[in-house]
A and B are shown apart, each in its own frame.
Chain A
Amino acid sequence: MSRINDVGGMAGFPAIVEEPDEPRFHEDWEAHVFALNGALIKRGVYNLDEFRDAQERLPVAQFLGSSYYERWFAAISTLLVEKGVAAPGDLEP
């Protein structure tokens, strides 16, 4: 079944918007999510393809309603539970 990430040739998305002088990250936590993912892949907790797969498995409405790094963090959270590193309740402060 095709997934929501697979958008090549699809109609209906909003106009392309350029952000002048865009920073590398918009928020500090985004940089943390980026670094966290790299650290977990390097440690072999999961691989890059599992990480992409975990994003693609997000419910479509959540996927489209999330920012780029919100998707990343959701995928990391999913994989930490699936790999047995954490229980779902462990991930909430």
Chain B
Amino acid sequence: MSDDHGSSLISARVRHVEALLESRGLLDAGEIDTRIDEFAAGGTPANGARVVARAWVDDGFRDRLLADANAALPEVGLSMAGGLQEQRLKVVANGPDEHHVLVCTLCSCYPIALLGPSPSWYKSEAYRSRVVRDPRSVLAEFGLDLPAGTRIEVWDASAESRYMVLPRRPEGTEGLTEDQLAGLVTRKGLIGTAAV
């Protein structure tokens, strides 16, 4: 939204505020850079893809994941504790007749600790205003045309829980390894605006 001039202006203001807070003892030298590096090394959609692939090959894990995702995540070496505080994760599974899709209508809540930052469209008023009211047409705009008989469930992340969609395993993938299956899973699949 900023042009180059606006961008350099706000950039200077941010640096100024950082220096001010350092001088007042509210920031440590290097603290911001450390946080940026930690964040870059943190959540990514690949984490969600690993969770999904494990659930596709291991029914026991799938059951545990859907019952209590926070307790199941350590089985694949993951947790929801990477953010400001550990957050509750609820995984919702697509089925033959139901499809789940996530939104935060009030702000932009998203499982950042697990999946990294959300895409800009997820944070946009355009998506947040419409998906809760008319999810079928929004999903169609994303290229996901659901059969009329598929029930759509929208999850509005309005409080402390974060959500992730468990897509359906595509047909014809019986011969793939867990790693290959993970490679099929997209961020949009984890949000519910794509089938996988």
Contact flag (A, B; Cβ within 8 A): yes
Interface residues, chain A, with chain B CB atoms under 8 Å away: 5-11, 13-19, 22, 24-25, 27-29, 31-36, 38-43, 45, 48, 52, 55, 64-68, 70, 73, 76-77, 80, 85-86, 90-93
Q: Is the CB of A70 within 8 A of B132?
A: no
Contacts between chains A and B (CB distance < 8 A), count: 138
Q: Measured between alpha carbons, how far is A66 from B107 in the docked complex, in Å?
A: 14
Q: Which of B70-78, B118-126, B162-170 contacts A (4 or more CB under 8 A)?
A: B118-126
B148 within 8 A of A: no
Q: Is the CB of B117 within 8 A of A9?
A: no
Q: Is the CB of A68 within 8 A of B141?
A: no
Residue in B39, B129, B132 whose CB lies within 8 Å of A11: B129
Q: Is the CB of B130 within 8 A of A35?
A: no
Within 83-131 of B, Cβ neighbours of A (below 8 Å) are at 84, 103, 105-108, 116-117, 119-121, 123-130
Q: Is the CB of A36 within 8 A of B120?
A: no
B5 within 8 A of A: no
Residue in A14, A25, A92 whose CB lies within 8 Å of B13: A92
Q: Measured between alpha carbons, how far is A66 from B10 in the docked complex, in Å?
A: 12
Which of A6, A32, A41, A64: most chain B CB closer than 10 A?
Answer: A32
